[in-house]
Structure 1
C-alpha cells in the first residue's frame, strides 16, 4: 500500500463488478465482468484469484489470462482505469468470486 497525501492506494481500489447478461450460452449463464481501478495512481500488473474459474466461451487472453492454477492476469498486465475498464464475458453454471490478490502501483 502506498501512502499519499490524499490517502492510500491498494487492492481495495480495484473494483470487480459482475452481472448476469441474461443470456444462456451452451446451457450456462453468461456473465459480464468489469474490472477497474479507482486509485489516483497507475495500477497495473493486476492479478485475480483464479478460484477454480471456468467458462464455456473463449475470453480474449489480453483481457483475462490464466497464469497458473491460482491466479489470472488482467488487461495483459497493462494499467486499468475507471475511464477505460477491462471488460470481458464468461459463461458457467455459477458466478465466480474474482478477487484481486496483487497489483503494482506507480505514482509520479
Structure 2
C-alpha cells in the first residue's frame, strides 16, 4: 500500500520560531519570525492562526498577510520548501502566538 502525503507530513512539520530582535520600533518591541517546513514534502497554502495580530511596521504581504481577523497566509500561499524558510519582522507590545492551522501537502 502506498503512503499518502499525510503519512509523511503534517502541521507539526511547520515550525514557527519567534524571538525579540532587541530593537524598539515606534515604541514597540521588534520580533523576528522564521517559518520553516521541516518535512521532506512540499507544503503550500499555509495559514497561521493570527488572531489579534497587529504591527506598527509593514510586512511584505507576499511573506505574511492577514486573510481575516483570525488567519494569515504565509509566502502568498506558495510552497515553503525544506531549508528555505520564510522570515519577516513585526513590532508590537506582545509576541503573538502564531500557530499553523492548515496547509496543503504535496509529495512526489
Residue in 2 aligned with 1:17? 17
Name the Cα RMSD after superposition. 1.0
Q: Give deviations 1:31-77, integer Å, cap 9, x for gaps.
A: 00000101111101100001200000000000001111110000011
Structure 1 consecutive aligned stretches of length 4 or more whose deviation exceeds 2 Å: none
Instruction: Tell me by how many angstroms 1:21 deviates.
Output: 0.4
> For this pair of structures, how many residues does the alignment match?
104
The answer to which structure has the higher strand fraction is: 1
C-alpha separation between the residues in 1 aligned to 2:81 and 2:38? Answer: 7
Length-normalised TM-score, structure 2: 0.93
Residue in 1 aligned with 2:83? 83
Q: What 5-or-longer segments of structure 2 have no aligned partner?
A: none
Residue in 1 aligned with 2:36? 36
